Structure 1
Amino acid sequence: MTRDAAVSIDKILHRNRSILLELTGKTKKPIKINRLQLDKKKFNFKYHTHTQVNSKGKTYHYIYDFWWMSFSDDEILIARR
């Protein structure tokens, strides 16, 4: 990976984090939002820092100190660690 590509990915990750922070505020409680809200803000679902699969097989996508997961086709569950 080139330095320019790494910088681009880092910008996407920071933008995604900013979007999650804007939607959740300072709360650490999980919130459900409509996927369209993230789409309208140009959230990039392809980029995250890491993933984790829970005992029920649900995948948590992490972006630094936030995580999100698809709750249904239309809803996303978001929380902050």
Structure 2
Amino acid sequence: MTQEKKNCLNCGKPIQGRVDKKFCDDSCRNTYNNQQNADSTNLIRNINHTLKKNRNILESIIPKGEELSKTTRERLMRLGFNFKFFTHVYQNKKGNQYHYCYDFGFLELEGDWFLIVKGKEIL
């Protein structure tokens, strides 16, 4: 009985070994799977990067030892803040909606002003 030669799904080289083997080595297997998942992985990586950047910007606005601060929309935008990305929304009893980037949030006030707050730990 002749065995049909299979080729590696990544590099195309002939495979030796088990009958059900698809790749010539671990490097080819990893490269192949990374390429298959690249689009979704890049999307998630870019979103996480933006969320972390937003969080760090909010954190930088609050003085050390303080829990809150005020700033303008122009300052946030100059620092590279992206208002489309946040992790969650909190609505207080007064009906104000705070948008959070992890543990730092912002509340839009009148006249392009924002209140920046350091949130409490929510577990």
Alignment TM-score > 0.5, same fold:
yes
Larger radius of gyration: 2
- Higher strand share goes to which structure? 1
Stretches of structure 2 lacking an aligned partner (at least 5 in a row): 1-38
Give secondary structure in 2 for the equivalent of 1:19: helix
Aligned residues: 81
Q: TM-score, normalised by structure 1?
A: 0.88
User: Does the 8 Å CA contact 2:63/2:69 hold for their aligned counterparts?
Assistant: no
Distance 2:47 2:68 in 1: 26
Amino acid in the other structure paired with 1:30: L
Q: Does 1:76 align with 2:114?
A: yes
1:21 aligned to which of 33, 56, 59: 59
C-alpha distance in structure 1 between counterparts of 2:114 and 2:89, whole Å: 15
Identity between Structure 1 and Structure 2 (%)? 35
> Over aligned residues, Cα RMSD in angstroms?
1.6
Question: Secondary structure, in 3 states, of the residue corresponding to 1:60?
Answer: strand
TM-score norm. by structure 2 comes to 0.60
What residue is the counterpart of 1:35 in the other structure? Answer: 73
Unaligned runs of 5+ in 1: none
**Runs of 4+ with >6 A deviation:** none
Aligned equivalent of 1:52 = 90
Question: What displacement does 1:28 show?
Answer: 3.6
CA distance in 2, matches of 1:43, 1:80: 16
